[in-house]
Amino acid sequence: AIISRVLLRLCRREAGRPSARLPEGAPLDVINECTQILAELAMLDLQHAEALASRHELIGTLFLLMAEPQAVDAALTLAQELLSAGQDVFPLTAVPDLPGLIGRLSPRGLALVSRALAVLLAKSAEQGLDAFPAPECVEPDLCVVCANNAALLALPSFLARVVALLRLRSPPAGLWGHIL
């Protein structure tokens, strides 16, 4: 718990102060070390992973870190662990300025963030949620799964960029040999 609080403070994401970007001059080497330690703990201890997964602010911060080339590997690893270990489906509303984040990702960054999104969407399917929403799930009172789907579909050019990635003859620069 202490390491996750340190990570949030380094990213200046304390409760009540959400930010859509990391602060200028954020110590990415220390942030990366904290993220790696949390990822290792999450992989070793499911209860610890479940406890971290309930901290939406932490997972939202991991999505922000995925936009940083220095931090993407550890952030992606930890996000995938937490998204799959959590009891509940993570709400994408906890990611500050998701459209801005997705819009500024490089093709490599988009490919990696899409892996975390795939875990999130698989979690919804894993929990036995049908492809069709329940009749009572209508705007503005959408369940988390429907709200996540709506948020992704509403992202400007998201689907077009993902389709463009799928059509590439080779992976985006820097993706060859990336840890799976």
Percentage, residues of the chain above pLDDT 70 = 85
Q: 174 versus 105: which is more confidently predicted?
A: 105
Place 13 in a pLDDT band, splitting at 50, 70 and 90.
low
What proportion of the chain, given as a percentage, has pLDDT over 90? 34
Q: How far apart are CA 75 and CA 115, in angstroms?
A: 12
CB 52 within 8 A of CB 18: no
Q: For CA atoms 124, 126, 129, 132, give the dihedral sign.
A: positive
Secondary structure of the chain: what % helix, strand, coil (to 5)?
Answer: 60, 0, 40
Q: What is the mean pLDDT of the chain?
A: 83
Task: Identify the residue with better confidence: 110 or 6.
Answer: 110
| Measured distance CA(115)–CA(37) in Å, rounded | 21
CB 5 within 8 A of CB 58: no
Q: Which among 33, 108, 118 is positioned nearest to 80, based on CA atoms?
A: 118
Q: How far apart are the first and last CA of the chain?
A: 27
Tens digits of residue pLDDT in 65-119: 898 888 889 999 999 999 999 888 899 999 988 998 899 898 988 999 999 999 9
Contacts of 138-145 spanning 24+ positions with Cβ under 8 A: 144/88, 144/89, 144/90, 144/91, 145/89
Residue 29, pLDDT score = 84
